[in-house]
Chain A
Amino acid sequence: MARPHIEPFVDRDVSFKKMTLPGFPKGMHYKMLSLDTDTGACSMTVMYENGYVQPPGMSYADMELFIMSGYLESDEKRYTPGSYFWVPPGVHMPALRAPRGCVALMFYNYAEPSFVESDSDHQLAERDNLTIVNAYEDMHWTSTNFFPATASGCLVKVLRFDQRTQAFTFLYCMTPNFWQDNISYHDCAEEAYHIWGTSWMMQFGNLPTGGYFWRPPYINHGAFACKLGTLALGRTDSQLYNHFHFNPWTTPEENRERAASRMLAWKPELYRWIEQHGGHNHPHVPNDFEYDGQGDPHAIAHAHGVPHDHGDGHHHHEHEEKPKRRRRRRSN
């Protein structure tokens, strides 16, 4: 994970830039919120000019889009504020227009932004995973049902849930006079953007409308408070667990070690199995029969980015020596 800790950042403090990446039509502007400098994955606030037209097309990586103001329309449908898209790699979208302009949040999870004109899906596209929902109109607020949970007054609408990694994208709100007196950290990276409202965290102070953070795992945040209410979009890159405590001065290393110790207390059998089978000298990537089948362990190690041995006694994180082969273009 190569996104730095960007917290807090307020996009109102910077101006939009023209999107100049090849493939993207004219009339698209962006503010970079955070960028993975290894993969090009990024989060941006985007603004489509009045009269913007995007031809039918697809992206090489999955893309999430959340409309905050204005609207996008296709021949069939108008996508108003609250509309959320999760478009898997290679799934083509119809022509989209923004007759009166539109401001949205755009996220690429695994690679740099790309747009390729196409009126059909790529052969590897998984169209059944395409998600389009209007979070404002079609969904209801629910309480966060994690244990331990955030205080009452923090409500969510889950827009996407990745069954494999448990990463999820959610709209959340804090009601006026919300407060929660604990310090939290997670095993996952956490990201959020304030669509409206100001909330406060003990480490970073007030985060206003347009406020954003990308927070790597194990970083303390909280206590929390919100005077007038906040509406925000949040995302994680894997399972979110609230590790609560009240020591303001712990480091991410100490937090991670505590998380590992808690894992031993909560799942002793599993912890010992991993310790036995996944130790440094005998790396073994566990096989998930649901996803990996009876797969080749070496291929599975690659799929998960897990360090492993090529039989020569050296551990490799990935085959960085052959980037060109891995990025070979496939016809669409």
Chain B
Amino acid sequence: MVKVIEHKVSREVKAWLKKEAAEQKERYKKIVAEQEALSPKRDKWVADFLERIQSRGFNVHADMLRKIPAAEIPKKPRRRFKVVF
């Protein structure tokens, strides 16, 4: 399949792309900051999740559930918890 038909990319198009790329960088930074601010809530959500997979179960496939034994529950590592990469 032809992915792209070769064509000249004009200076105008390049300038548009540059501007959009710069705006996206700002958007990305804002997302990272917002997600960082969500950390305390997220820690609570994670604790609830780890509790539910022990009591109700973990979705192995579709609605097939497995109750995870306490010994298998992972421990939070010391490194920073990131969700946006």
Chain A residues close to B by CB (< 8 Å): 4-9, 20-22, 32, 34-35, 37, 40, 42, 60-62, 88-90, 109-112, 114, 122, 124-126, 129, 147-152, 164, 180-182, 202-205, 216, 219-220, 223, 244, 246-249, 251-252, 326-330, 332
Smallest CB-CB separation from A37: which chain B residue?
B21
Structural contact, A9 and B56, CB atoms closer than 8 A: no
Given contacts A32-B24, A182-B59, contact A126 B8 (CB under 8 A): no
Smallest CB-CB separation from A249: which chain B residue?
B77
Q: Could you tell me the distance in whole angstroms from the C-beta of A204 to the nearest C-beta in chain B?
A: 7
Can you list 30 A-B contacts with CB-CB less than 8 angstroms, sorted by A residue number? A4-B24, A4-B28, A8-B31, A20-B16, A21-B16, A22-B12, A34-B24, A35-B20, A37-B17, A37-B24, A40-B17, A88-B2, A109-B3, A114-B7, A150-B62, A152-B63, A182-B59, A182-B60, A203-B83, A219-B83, A246-B53, A246-B58, A246-B68, A247-B74, A249-B74, A327-B8, A329-B7, A330-B5, A330-B6, A330-B7
Chain B residues close to A by CB (< 8 Å): 1-10, 12-13, 16-17, 20-21, 23-24, 27-28, 31, 35, 38, 41-42, 45-46, 49-50, 52-53, 56-63, 65, 68, 73-74, 76-77, 79, 81-85
Residues of the A chain whose Cβ atoms lie less than 8 Å from the Cβ of B59: 151, 180-182, 244
Given contacts A180-B59, A203-B83, A248-B46, contact A89 B8 (CB under 8 A): no
